[in-house]
């Protein structure tokens, strides 16, 4: 991935980006991309186990996956990065959740502009391949089995992290879905922002380039015909219960998904 990706407001994969010959020779299967992804995963895990997986390594390995997506035929379009760059102080970043891809490349896009951590499921923190890396990033860990406990954890830990100038990325949907369902997009993030007195930045993503796998949901097929879109919206102030901001975030995601439908 190009190291100057965050230098401008937009990024678009150049038309002349080389496509790996070996990837094309494997009939556009998932084989090469999966191998490159696993190589990065094991490299990251090794560094984390030795206590060497710091912020720069997190950015670098995210860059590696970004680059591998492009080398295997993916085309990435990002807009609105100035909305992160020009927003003073920590924020709550709220995004729809479509695939594994956004989890992997967000650090390389956002972290150079703002210190971040994620709200994640405990299954990810306990996953044999990802646990060492995830724990090194000090995420906010939820069980998803007890909403009351999860709410308390986010309010307590989230407020503390925001006070320490660490922005928080939340995927409010209960699970990853290609289809966006507003009723599954909970208001946890806007409530955290309201309590902390910080702004929210909405993010709309279309990452169905990377599908779900049958044996492992992290190792699904890739569809080179589906461009990847990421749009960062303008920061929003959250007032009161946050209902108005929550609805605006949903509308931002829906409008972008609609505009990308035939692209």
* CA–CA separation, 98 and 82 (whole Å): 23
Measured CA to CA, the distance from residue 221 to residue 32 in angstroms comes to 11
The neighbouring-strand residues paired with 202 are 94
Instruction: Please give the share of the chain, as a percent, with pLDDT higher than 70.
Output: 98
The reported pLDDT for the residue numbered 147 is 86
Cα angle, residue 230 at apex, residues 227 and 232 outer, rounded to 5°: 160
CA distances 25 to 111, 163, 186, Å, are: 35, 51, 44
* pLDDT digits 0-9 by tens, 147-195: 899 999 999 999 999 999 999 999 999 788 899 999 999 999 999 999 9
In DSSP terms, which residues pair with 170 in a beta bridge? 94
pLDDT digit string (tens) for 197-234? 999 999 999 999 999 877 777 788 999 999 999 999 99
CA atoms of 163 and 67, how far apart (whole Å): 34
State the pLDDT at residue 95. Answer: 98
Band of pLDDT at residue 3, cut at 50, 70 and 90: low
pLDDT in tens, 231-244: 999 999 999 889 99
Q: In the sheet where 76-79 sits, what is the strand order?
A: 11-12, 76-79, 228-232, 199-206, 91-95, 167-170, 116-121, 140-142
**pLDDT value of position 1:** 43
Phi-psi region of 106 (alpha: psi -120 to 50; beta: other; left: phi over 0): alpha
Q: For residue 29, give the 3-state DSSP assignment.
A: coil
Structure confidence at residue 24 as a pLDDT band (50, 70, 90): confident
At 214-223, the pLDDT tens digits run: 777 778 899 9
Asked if residues 62 and 104 have their Cβ atoms less than 8 Å apart, the reply is yes
């Amino acid at each position: 991935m190009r190291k100057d990706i965050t230098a401008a407001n937009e990024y678009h994969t150049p038309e002349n980006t080389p496509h790996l010959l070996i990837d094309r020779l494997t009939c556009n299967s998932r084989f090469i991309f999966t191998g490159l992804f696993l190589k990065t995963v094991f490299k990251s895990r090794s560094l984390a186990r030795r206590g060497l997986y710091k912020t720069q390594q997190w950015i670098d390995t995210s860059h590696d996956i970004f680059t591998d997506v492009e080398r295997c035929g993916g085309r990435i379009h990002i807009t609105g990065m100035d909305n992160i760059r020009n927003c003073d102080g920590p924020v709550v970043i709220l995004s729809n959740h479509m695939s594994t891809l956004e989890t992997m490349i967000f650090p390389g896009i956002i972290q150079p502009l703002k210190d971040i951590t994620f709200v994640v499921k405990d299954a990810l923190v306990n996953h044999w391949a990802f646990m060492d890396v995830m724990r090194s990033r000090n995420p906010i860990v939820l069980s998803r089995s007890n909403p009351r406990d999860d709410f308390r954890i986010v309010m307590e830990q989230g407020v503390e992290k925001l006070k320490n100038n660490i922005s928080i990325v939340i995927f409010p949907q209960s699970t990853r879905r290609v289809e966006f369902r507003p009723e599954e997009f909970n208001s946890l993030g806007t409530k955290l922002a309201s309590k902390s007195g910080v702004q929210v930045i909405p993010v709309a993503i279309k990452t169905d380039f990377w599908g779900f796998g049958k044996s492992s949901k992290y190792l699904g097929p890739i569809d080179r015909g589906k461009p990847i879109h990421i749009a960062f919206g303008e920061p929003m102030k959250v007032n009161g219960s946050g209902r108005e901001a929550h609805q605006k975030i949903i509308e931002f995601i829906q409008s972008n998904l609609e505009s990308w439908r035939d692209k």
